[in-house]
Structure 1
């Protein structure tokens, strides 16, 4: 009498004939004969393994309690390895994950373990996947759930974080004071520049005013000289002679008995004699 086995899409059956492996069967209906066939069913869906909490020592000798999850599945192309190469692949993966975690944590300092969880997850996953490939197992993901340092380390970390916050506050305050001083100095610099520029412009304007005033005064003197020259050029010799005669009259009315006459005056008096003789 044959047994009928219904194999789902996510399942495979390893069938042995008198102890000899025949292959992976399914999905669908798989027959097996009593005594002749032995079968072992494999689930190819992703399975989650909860790795028990364990104490690990970091690179700087700090003890940490860590527990994590491993997500794995049987590779369809190599499903027979999960039957032929390992007796219980689940237990094998748990043991391998435990030793892999200790190796990874032992190469990393405490601060990095606490701050680089994603990196540690990927390191564990890559190492597990390379080891379990010979069993036909694919490790798809690793997630650390808890990392618990001892109480004394936790207290030291809290003090360190408090000191770091104080340091950042001091740095921010110093930066603010520095920026304020720079702003004030920049304002004073701009003010001094503006004052100097204003004084320079004032001096330039004053110099330009003095220059224009000097030009105007010189222009006035030049115009006055031109006017005097124009009037003088219109006076003839007879007019000048009469002016000298009037001057002599004023001299004659004075108390002085001796007079010094310029040469030009004697010439004009000679001209005056000529004029009177012409009239006779």
Structure 2
């Protein structure tokens, strides 16, 4: 029988390994570069990429508190060069195999966790998936580089309810802080009022003291200038003057007083009686 084989040139790309068979049986692995094959006796039946690949999987499951969620898992895997034979021949569909293990681990882990804790423990879920995949996929010639839980998506109604609960908590906290602020403002206003009242009292006391000091100085000066006058006479004059000032401040347009030589003395006596009987009662009707 004559040799009918033809030299066939094939090129393997970088980060790729070609699987070569001779007469239907595995012959060798061809690395990157140019290769001459005796076709049709020797052929390239497939290639394997040595790059890191990513598989995105969406798993629907429920939590411990019976809330259905969509868990998005990203698996990064790579063919082990030394195990390329197993990676090519032992698995017909590597993505389906990885997906099956991811579904198994996620659906056995999440149902033991409440919804609120799922968001907190997503790293632990990813680590459990990675540990299971490393254990199972190593014998098939695949290395699991990393596993990430990239999203946890509850049902729309559940998310709306969670947002309402969060909004209610924030509104309650805002109301509490507003009440505390109102309380502080009221306390500060009361303290300011008390301080203002105190200072007003101090001012009135100082004003009265100034008036007393002024009257005292006026009496002393009058006695020095007018010989033979007593302090009582001076006080009577001041009392009459203040009385007339009071009548003016009341706002009366016209004031009628009794006239006569003795009326001033009578008016002085009436004022003395008013002061002696208690002071602030008005005796104006007796003067008219």
Report the TM-score when normalising by structure 2. Answer: 0.53
Counterpart of 1:43 in structure 2 is 49
- Please give the secondary structure, in 1, of the residue aligned with 2:39: coil
Q: CA 1:33–1:106 in structure 2 vs 1: closer, same or farther (change >3 Å)?
A: farther
Show structure 1 runs of 5+ residues with no match: 181-280
Q: Deviation string for 1:49-81 (max 9, x for gaps)?
A: 222x34211233210022232211111121111
What RMSD in Å do the two structures reach over aligned CA positions? Answer: 3.1
Which digits, 9 at most, give the CA deviation of each residue in 1:237-271, with x for residues without a partner?
A: xxxxxxxxxxxxxxxxxxxxxxxxxxxxxxxxxxx
Aligned match for 1:139, one of 116, 119, 144? 144
Aligned partner of residue 132 in structure 1, secondary structure = helix
Q: Which runs of 5+ in 2 are unaligned?
A: 1-5, 185-288
1:1-280 correspondence to structure 2 within 5 Å: 1-39=6-44, 40-51=46-57, 53-165=58-170
Question: CA 1:168–1:79 in structure 2 vs 1: closer, same or farther (change >3 Å)?
Answer: farther
Structure 2 distance, partners of 1:173, 1:116, is 35
- Give aligned pairs, total: 179
Return the offset for 1:168.
6.2
Cα 1:104–1:2, aligned 2, differ >3 Å: closer, same or farther? farther
Which structure has the larger Rg? 1
User: For residues 110 and 17 of structure 1, do their structure 2 counterparts lie closer, same or farther at Cα, with a shift above 3 Å needed?
Assistant: same
Contact 1:46 1:71 in 2 (8 A): yes
Q: Distance in 1 between matches of 2:96 and 2:89?
A: 15
TM-score of the aligned structures, taking structure 1 as reference length? 0.54
